[in-house]
Amino acid sequence: MKRKRNDATPKPKLGYLVFISHSARDQWLARQMARVIESKGRQHRVKSFLDEKDIESGDHIHESIRDSIRGCDEFMVLLTRRSASRAWVLIEMGAAWVLRKRVVAVIEDMTPEELPDIIFPYKAVDINKFDEYLNEIMRRAKKKRGKA
């Protein structure tokens, strides 16, 4: 039986999708961020894409990630000393950059000198100001819903 490839045709978006890129070593923190984003964003239909919760057994991992980056409204990368040099985190950031997605780096315990070069053009958010970033997501999601 031939396995069906993921359909690359963009599906109509419902709500507002935040793709969360992170290192496996930061999985717990990324999981908490996804939970808070979805909880606070329920009213505005804000969803998050997190590999461990959104890629199911038998799914093609790379295609699922690529399709989710393509379909997201916003790309958030959790940048820590553990993730900043991880190949997949850098690949995902590059894909978001190529697709001209809003890229938001949430920084945990890193100096500007330690950040990957691809992040320099973007305004980053310190993890201690995550609540402020959540408010920004909600404003953008509300604005998008108003246009729908």
9 half-sphere exposure, CB direction, 13 A CA radius = 3
- Better-predicted residue by pLDDT, 37 or 4: 37
Q: Per the domain annotation, does 15 fall within a domain?
A: no
Q: Per the domain annotation, does 128 fall within a domain?
A: yes
Residue 113 has pLDDT above 90, yes or no: no
CA torsion sign for 32, 35, 37, 40 is negative
Residue 6 has pLDDT above 70, yes or no: no
Q: Take residue 13 and report the two structure tokens written for it.
A: 């978006």
Strands of the sheet containing 102-107, edge to edge, are: 46-49, 16-21, 74-79, 102-107, 125-126
Domain that holds residue 115: 20-147
Q: Per the domain annotation, does 11 fall within a domain?
A: no
Residue 12 has pLDDT above 50, yes or no: no
CA torsion sign for 31, 37, 41, 45 is negative
Q: Per the domain annotation, does 112 fall within a domain?
A: yes
Give the pLDDT band (50/70/90) at residue 148: low
Give the pLDDT band (50/70/90) at residue 117: confident
pLDDT, averaged across the chain: 89
Residue 144 has pLDDT above 80, yes or no: yes
Residue 2 has pLDDT above 50, yes or no: no
Q: Per the domain annotation, does 9 fall within a domain?
A: no
Q: Per the domain annotation, does 5 fall within a domain?
A: no
SS3 74: strand
What is the rounded average pLDDT of the residues 103-114?
91
Count of domains forming the chain? 1
Q: Per the domain annotation, does 95 fall within a domain?
A: yes
CATH number at residue 51: 3.40.50.10140
Q: Per the domain annotation, does 10 fall within a domain?
A: no
